[in-house]
Amino acid sequence: MRLSPAITELMRALRTLPGVGPKSAQRMAFQILERQRDAGLQLSKALAEAIERVGHCSVCRTLTESEICELCANQNRREAGLLCIVETPADVLAIEQTGQYQGCYFVLMGHLSPLDGIGPEDIGLDTLAERLAQEPISEIILATNPTIEGEATAHYIAELARQHSINTSRIAHGVPVGGELEYVDQATLGHAFSGRKRIDFDLF
């Protein structure tokens, strides 16, 4: 039995979403057509509008509708002189949710990956170099992912920062809060030991 072409095409298009397989796509398509036509039309419009309107911030490269994103437009943050380097806009969101950081960001929109042909220009490191030369930045915090590509990217940017004589730090790697030692992988546990901090009783 062949489904009608419009339904088949809808299922194919839904499968391009991350985490959606053939069975989920079928469930979504039928639910939209049977009971949620209004919500489906709203989703269609929201997709078209977001794709049309959302571009990249000219300062930090994150996704935004404006020329400059809300965080880069914030004068207090720019004056803090801190620049956090992350791979994706989702990372910015995760860091903002901690409420611990009050500086600016630079979003690479990826990581260095020579095998896939992704070089320094593709992740905006030319823009970053210009910014390091012009702005008074006191510290760069490298918050790329703790993967091989993320570490290589962090290393490359650390070299870049050294050329501009800017202090550079890497976010700490160690045992996640709430985790159990038994289930933590060896590399993480190794990092947790090599990066151990002296307990200073004066602080208590």
Stretch that binds its own copies, among 30-38, 148-156, 168-176, 183-191 (CB under 8 A): 30-38
Q: Could you give the C-alpha distances from 57 to 36, 152, 155, in angstroms and in order?
A: 35, 25, 24
User: Under the criterion CB under 8 A, does residue 32 sit at the interface with its own copies?
Assistant: yes
User: Under the criterion CB under 8 A, does residue 12 sit at the interface with its own copies?
Assistant: yes
For residues 42 to 81, the per-residue mask of contacts with its own copies, x marking binding by CB under 8 A and - elsewhere, is xxxxxxxxxx-xx--------xxxx--xxx----------
Task: Determine which residue in the list 68, 90, 171, 187 makes contact with its own copies, applying CB under 8 A.
Answer: 90
Neighbour count for residue 175 (Cβ, 10 Å): 15
Stretch that binds its own copies, among 82-90, 151-159, 169-177, 187-195 (CB under 8 A): 82-90
Tell which residue, 134, 116, 119, 123, has the closest CA to residue 61.
123
Q: Give the nearer residue to its own copies in terms of CB position, either 93 or 189.
A: 93
User: Under the criterion CB under 8 A, does residue 171 sit at the interface with its own copies?
Assistant: no
Six token digits for residue 38? 């209004």
User: Under the criterion CB under 8 A, does residue 6 sit at the interface with its own copies?
Assistant: yes
User: Under the criterion CB under 8 A, does residue 41 sit at the interface with its own copies?
Assistant: yes
Distance separating alpha carbons of residues 57 and 53, to the nearest angstrom: 12
Sequence-distant (6+) residues with CB within 8 A of 142 are 85, 154, 157, 158, 168, 169, 170, 171
Instruction: Number of residues interacting with its own copies: please give it, by CB under 8 A.
Output: 57
Distance separating alpha carbons of residues 141 and 71, to the nearest angstrom: 16
For β-strands 104-107 and 167-170, DSSP reports them as: unpaired
The pair phi, psi for residue 195, each rounded to 5°, is -100, 20
Stretch that binds its own copies, among 34-42, 134-142, 161-169, 178-186 (CB under 8 A): 34-42
Task: Say whether 4 sits in a helix, a strand or coil.
Answer: coil
User: Under the criterion CB under 8 A, does residue 84 sit at the interface with its own copies?
Assistant: no
Residues near its own copies, by CB under 8 A: 1-7, 9-10, 12-14, 16-19, 24, 26-34, 36-37, 39-51, 53-54, 63-66, 69-71, 88-90, 92-93, 96, 109
